Amino acid sequence: MKPHQLTLAQASSAIAARRLSPTELLDDCLARLDALNPALDCAIRVMADEARAAARALDDETPRGPLHGIPVGIKDIIDIAGLPTTCHSAQRLGHVASADAAVVGRLRSAGAVFPAKLATHEFAIGGPAFDLPFPPARNPWNRDHHPGGSSSGSGAAVAARIFPAALGTDTGGSVRHPASHCGLVGLKPTYGLVPRDGVFPLAFSLDHVGPLTRTVEDCALILGVMAGDDYTGALNHGLRGLTIGYVRHFHEIDQPADPEMAAALDEAARLLAAEGAILRDIILPPLAQFAAVNRTILYAEAGAVHEHWLREAPEKYAAITRRRLLPSMFVTARDHVQAQRRRGEMLAAVREAFTTVDILLTASSMDPACRIDDADAVERTYPRQARTPFNVTGHPALTIMSGLHSSGLPLSLQLVAPAFAEERLLQAAAGYERASGWKDRAPPL
């Protein structure tokens, strides 16, 4: 097995046992990036020299922990000292970060190396756009298709086995969307668990930073460094005794899912029950209400961030970004207050659900990835998802692969836990991962 094919955990074990050096791992990952990036456009800046210098310095060190010598891709709205943070936009081409983002600093201290800044949808709100300084990332399962967003390059790079892990951000689902479309594990932690200092904001009260990985164990390892805790203790505890609430109405009534996506969710519920979980149906507020609250708050807060550029240089945005941001200029303080009031009611409803269940099972995306060049399909499918509710409530939510569509593209599901119950969430995800066997499926590259 070549080094780039190793999971984060496998590479970490090999480095700790001196069977693999950080430099050997990095060089193989960079060769993989060099071979695939022209087709996938997942990286917009490669820092090969800086990463090699960092890896060489780590070669002879006593390993600092599980991320020692591990290459991690960084979404380009997250600061790395001395490098541009462009947000994939002409508005920010001249920007250079003066310091590492807090989460980058934590990863660096743990021995991670950073070979590339990765593509994103512009300012984490646009879609795949062809009128920007950098091309949009593409899906490794089929490069004619959308990889999900806005952490599009992060999803593409990890799915393509270029890097073992990458960081993304999630305001309405932007870590979990590429995880859904690229067949990965994508985690939005509890709001506030991972620091956001040095991350360009989209909506202050909805933004999260989270990892994309190939396995649940890898997710637990990198989250431990990001959040300063150990999340691996329950990974092997299994599903027996967990009560899982199946939120069927999200994908059966609110936004009827592709039949193959719906069937994969039912099969996942059957499998969870076979592994010892107790399944019961749960009703939450309708998806449309969650989406309206998220949209109003996001517009209000994004408008505060982008007001100057919208007034002074609107032509520098991609057309899709400009179209999505312009409504922010018309959201009133009254709208924002009413949305926050309704948000409190929705938070109470989800908290109430967790008095009777340990975990929620829901859809993530309602459809597999559409073609990247079909603007109408992108606009139609992008909001067809059940990720937004948990940005509104702040609960930790994880997306994981649940099968393959007849088109050859990944299917997915979402698991959600009470606030700050990431260990329980990862326990459930690891149990499903072992039982389902999907983690070893890779794009045909």
Catalytic: which of 21, 150, 154, 402? 150
How far is the C-alpha of 314 from the C-alpha of 434, rounded, in Å?
49
Average pLDDT, integer, range 335-341? 97
- Which phi and psi (to 5°) does residue 15 adopt? -65, -45
| Residue-level pLDDT at 82 | 97
- Which phi and psi (to 5°) does residue 82 adopt? 85, 0
Catalytic: which of 21, 174, 180, 365? 174
Q: Find the radius of gyration of the CA atoms of the chain.
A: 20
How far is the C-alpha of 81 from the C-alpha of 84, rounded, in Å?
8
| Residue-level pLDDT at 34 | 98
DSSP code string of 399-440: EEEEEE-TTS-EEEEEEE-STT-HHHHHHHHHHHHHHH-GGG
CATH 3.90.1300.10, applies to 3-288+336-440: yes
Average pLDDT, integer, range 346-370? 98
For residue 55, CA distances in Å to 47, 247, 279 come to 12, 45, 47
pLDDT band of residue 127 (cuts 50, 70, 90) is very high
pLDDT band of residue 116 (cuts 50, 70, 90) is very high
The strands making up 410-416's β-sheet, listed across from edge to edge, are 43-46, 116-118, 72-75, 165-170, 208-213, 185-188, 397-404, 410-416, 359-362, 243-246, 278-281
pLDDT band of residue 126 (cuts 50, 70, 90) is confident
Cβ atoms of 399 and 185 closer than 8 Å = yes
Partners of 116 in beta bridges:
46
Cβ atoms of 26 and 69 closer than 8 Å = yes
How far is the C-alpha of 414 from the C-alpha of 5, rounded, in Å?
25
Is the link from the previous residue into 412 a cis peptide, with omega within 30 of 0? no
Question: One-letter amino acid identity for 188?
Answer: K
Say whether 174 is catalytic. yes
Joined together, the tokens standing for residue 258 give 């592709």
| Residue-level pLDDT at 314 | 96
Average pLDDT, integer, range 182-199? 98
Average pLDDT, integer, range 340-367? 98
Say whether 12 is catalytic. no
Q: What is the pLDDT of residues 14-51, one digit of tens each?
A: 999 999 999 999 999 999 999 999 999 999 999 999 99
pLDDT band of residue 220 (cuts 50, 70, 90) is very high
Q: At residue 74, does pLDDT exceed 90?
A: yes
pLDDT band of residue 109 (cuts 50, 70, 90) is very high
| Residue-level pLDDT at 196 | 98
| Residue-level pLDDT at 119 | 98
Average pLDDT, integer, range 253-265? 98
Average pLDDT, integer, range 51-80? 98
Average pLDDT, integer, range 78-92? 98
Average pLDDT, integer, range 310-330? 96
Catalytic: which of 12, 21, 75, 365? 75
Say whether 150 is catalytic. yes
Q: How much of the chain, in percent, has pLDDT values that exceed 70? A: 100
- Helix and strand tally (H, E) in the chain? 15, 11
Partners of 397 in beta bridges:
188, 416
Average pLDDT, integer, range 378-394? 97
> What crossing angle do the helices spanning 216-227 and 8-16 adopt, rounded to 10°?
70
How do the domains of the chain map onto residue ranges?
3-288+336-440
Q: At residue 242, does pLDDT exceed 90?
A: yes
pTM greater than 0.95 (yes/no): yes
Closest CA to 34 of 160, 142, 155: 160
- Which phi and psi (to 5°) does residue 279 adopt? -100, 135
- What is the distance of C-alpha 199 from the center of its chain? 15
How far is the C-alpha of 186 from the C-alpha of 431, rounded, in Å?
16
Question: One-letter amino acid identity for 260?
Answer: E
Q: At residue 376, does pLDDT exceed 90?
A: yes
How far is the C-alpha of 62 from the C-alpha of 403, rounded, in Å?
40
Cβ atoms of 51 and 25 closer than 8 Å = no
C-alpha triplet 333, 336, 341: angle, nearest 5°: 125
H-only helix segments in 275-383: 287-312, 319-325, 333-353, 375-381
